[in-house]
Amino acid sequence: MTYRRPVLSLALFLTVSLAEAQQVGLSRLFYPNVTLRADYYVPSRMSGSDEFGLTRTSFFGMVPVQSEVQAGFSLRKKLDLRAVHTVLIGQFSQLQPTVAGVNTPDNGYKTVSMGAIRLQASIKDKFWVYGGGLGITESNETFFTPQPFLWGGAARMRVFGLQSQIMYGSIIAYNQKLRVIPILGVNKRLNRHWRATALLPFMADVNYKVNNWFNLDMMAGVNGYSGGFQLQTAEEKLLRRQNYQHIKLGIAANAHLFTVLNVSLEAGMTGFRTLRTFNSARENLTSYSPNPTPYVGASVRYITSRSSLTSRFTKKMGIGDKGINW
Which residues pair with residue 223 across a beta bridge?
246
The dihedral region occupied by 106, where left means phi > 0, alpha psi between -120 and 50, and beta the remainder, is: alpha
Q: What are the respective helix, strand and coil percentages of the chain, to the nearest 5?
A: 10, 65, 25
> CATH classification of 4-317 is 2.40.160, yes or no?
yes
pLDDT of residue 207: 92
pLDDT given at position 138: 86
CA-wise closest residue to 123 among 212, 7, 231, 242: 7
Dist CA 151 CA 129 (whole Å)? 14
What is the pLDDT tens value at each position of the chain, 326 positions in all? 333 333 333 333 443 334 443 434 445 667 888 999 999 999 999 877 688 999 999 999 988 888 777 776 655 666 667 778 889 999 999 999 988 766 665 578 999 999 998 888 776 667 888 899 999 888 887 777 788 889 999 988 777 766 788 889 999 998 878 999 999 988 888 888 998 988 888 899 999 999 988 999 999 999 988 888 877 777 777 888 889 999 999 999 999 888 788 899 999 999 999 999 888 788 888 899 999 999 999 999 998 765 555 555 555 544 433 333 32
Which pLDDT belongs to residue 135? 92
Specify whether the CB–CB gap between 49 and 324 falls below 8 A.
no
pLDDT of residue 165: 80
d(CA 298, CA 279): 35
What are the strands, taking DSSP E only, across 175-318?
178-189, 194-200, 203-209, 214-232, 237-257, 261-279, 284-288, 293-303
